Amino acid sequence: MSARRLVGLETEYGIIRPAMPQANSTVLSAQIVDAYAQLVRDSGSDARAARWDYSDESPLADARGHAVDRALAHPSQLTDSEPTLGDCAVWTAESIALDGNDARVGDTLYQEKDATDVVMNMVLGNGARLYVDHAHPEYSSPEVTSPRAAVLWDHAGDEVMRRAAATAATLGSGELLLYKNNTDNKSVSYGSHENYLVPREVDFSALVRGLTAFFATRQIFCGAGRVGRGMLGRGAEFQISQRADFFEAEVGLETTINRPIINTRDEPHANWDKYRRLHVIIGDANLGQISTLLRVGTTNLVLSLIEAGMSPKLELADPVAALQQISHDPSLRTTVALRGGRRLTAIQIQRSYLEAAESFCAQRDLQDPDTTEILRRWRDILDTLERDPLEAAAQVDWVAKYKLMKSFTERHSVGFDDARVALMDLQWADLRLDKGLYYRMASRGLIETIFSQAEINAAVDHPPEDTRAYLRGMTLQRYAPYVVAANWDVLSFSVPGARKVSRFHMPEPLAGSRAQVGELFDAELEIAEFIEQLARRR
């Protein structure tokens, strides 16, 4: 009941092989995941990638109380089955360039590699999942309990991707470039989803009522910025959000077509009777740590308001139109219509949520450091954006990007239609520290950060200590050879000499913390003893 809550963030990264522009993106993504698996194997530990266990997934369950018929679902909704490399059973130069072009690759290590040996999906020692999602490599962070930890383990994913790309190059995949963005500006968008644990007793319609106006407007402090309009990126006007123009519905189950502001996927990956997992698909991927911090922290507070029945009663007349109108105006002066005819700016709508959160926290005397920090930052950023949006460049991704582009166009007396501006839009999100424009700005001290690269590197190797991610990550670090499969809420072990696989369920996301199971790892038990002790603590 504060800015703290169980949260996990997912990022699908854009991927290209510049030397082979038509390369099959599923194969490139598999090369990234497989390269990371090799890196883990070669790093000295005997950790192997654990196979992902799909048996508890139900992507077609709808939070409104029904399920979609499998036969009627879009193929991309079937995320509960193992992805395959399709026609490219063997990674040859030809299959990598499946879409057909005349680029040539030399001999690669993958030429003889059977796709059945390729790792497409793995669980990491920090409790995260790394896998091929459709045509993108995806990192899903381990479960954390504070906005700061959400930032840290989300940004650890960027580092995982950087290391994977560097390894892939040494393995002969050529130079693979990864981008933490959400569109190719040519009709395609890919997501960065947030997951929030919510008690099952919270009525889903209350979530829809409480969140819609908040989600349409929070982009002003966590949008990533984009040049171009509509799904095709026409024109050269700057807008606040990468994702806004790809949304078409208010509420729905889909995530790849007819995208809704509120997604109804009902797949808690935890005790179904107790929990919902609110699956938020509207956000942009953020490189800036403060944008991520605010995105998660303010959403946590608004969920607390909804649970307490204290969310502001703000109903947008047309939420999808409002989302896009706000995104299209970097001056932040645009007003959007509420039901009943009143018009408000995004800043005014956000202030209503902030004030409700402030009085809620004052009423309950909530003074933990996370809640205090998020309330302070939320108020500060709205004040700054109201004064002059460009003053928020150190904290807000879209503003930093906009400021750089604006200075560039003024210096060279060109418009936003200059080809280099389109390139800046893309290269902003390049994950290479020496090439990515976000990182170049950050290294000049122009961006506020709360974590150093050393801290981010540590989060690549270590799980959060206060959730079941600790048990998952540590198990992978210590007992990987015996873990035959794993997912968010199950670990499956195969013990030498045992006839059956033992499955350990983790229906409580907060169980399995260091406080609860740390001593099992400290004791350095043999695998059979470890499983037995673990089972006793169930």
Partner 1 sequence: MTQENFSARRETQAQALEAEQVQANTTGTSAGVDDLLDEIDSVLESNAEEFVRGFVQKGGQ
Residue identified by tokens 């504070």 is 146
- Among the listed ranges 34-42, 306-314, 367-375, 505-513, the one in contact with partner 1 (CB under 8 A) is 367-375
Is 133 catalytic? The answer is yes
Q: Which of residues 261-290 bind partner 1 (CB under 8 A)?
A: 281
Residue identified by tokens 């709205």 is 382
DSSP 447: S
- Out of 34, 53, 133, 245, which one is annotated catalytic? 133
Q: How far is the CB of 167 from partner 1 (least distance, A)?
A: 22
For residue 329 the two structure tokens come to 């105006």
Q: Which of residues 40-99 bind partner 1 (CB under 8 A)?
A: 76
Q: How far is the CB of 183 from partner 1 (least distance, A)?
A: 8
Residue closer to partner 1, measured from CB, 455 or 526 = 455
- For position 446 contacting partner 1 by CB under 8 A, the verdict is yes
Among 199, 230, 235, 369, binds partner 1 (CB under 8 A): 369
For residue 468 the two structure tokens come to 């079941």
Q: Which of residues 188-217 bind partner 1 (CB under 8 A)?
A: 188-191, 193
- For position 162 contacting partner 1 by CB under 8 A, the verdict is no
CA nearest to 40, candidates 131, 143, 160, 157? 160
Among 57, 184, 250, 508, binds partner 1 (CB under 8 A): 184
Burial code (b: 16+ CB inside 10 Å, e: under 16) for 419-437 equals eebbebbbbbbbbeeeebb
- Among the listed ranges 155-163, 337-345, 423-431, 477-485, the one in contact with partner 1 (CB under 8 A) is 423-431
Upper half-sphere CA count for residue 358 (Cβ side, 13 Å): 11
- For position 256 contacting partner 1 by CB under 8 A, the verdict is yes
Distance between CA atoms of residues 56 and 59, nearest Å: 10
Residue closer to partner 1, measured from CB, 360 or 439 = 439
Burial code (b: 16+ CB inside 10 Å, e: under 16) for 385-417 equals beeebeebbbbbbbbbbbbbbeeebeeeeeebe
Determine the Cα angle at 455 with ends 465 and 397, to 5°.
110
Q: Which of residues 119-138 bind partner 1 (CB under 8 A)?
A: 133-136
- For position 516 contacting partner 1 by CB under 8 A, the verdict is no
Query: Total residues contacting partner 1 (rule CB under 8 A)?
Result: 55
Kindly report the number of other CB atoms within 10 A of residue 335's CB atom.
Answer: 16
Reduced 3-state DSSP string for 166-190: HHHHHCCCCCCEEECCCECCCCCEC
Among 419, 452, 497, 522, binds partner 1 (CB under 8 A): 419
- For position 403 contacting partner 1 by CB under 8 A, the verdict is yes
DSSP 135: T
- For position 368 contacting partner 1 by CB under 8 A, the verdict is yes
Residue closer to partner 1, measured from CB, 387 or 435 = 435
Q: Are 183 and 255 in contact (CB under 8 A)?
A: no
- For position 414 contacting partner 1 by CB under 8 A, the verdict is no
For residue 319, the SS3 value is helix
- For position 329 contacting partner 1 by CB under 8 A, the verdict is no
Distance between CA atoms of residues 387 and 391, nearest Å: 8
Upper half-sphere CA count for residue 164 (Cβ side, 13 Å): 33
| Contact residues for partner 1, defined by CB under 8 A | 12, 14-16, 18, 21-22, 25-26, 76, 133-136, 179, 183-186, 188-191, 193, 255-256, 281, 368-369, 372-373, 393-394, 403-404, 407-408, 411, 419-420, 422-424, 426-427, 434-435, 437, 440-441, 444-446, 448, 450
Name the residues annotated as catalytic: 133
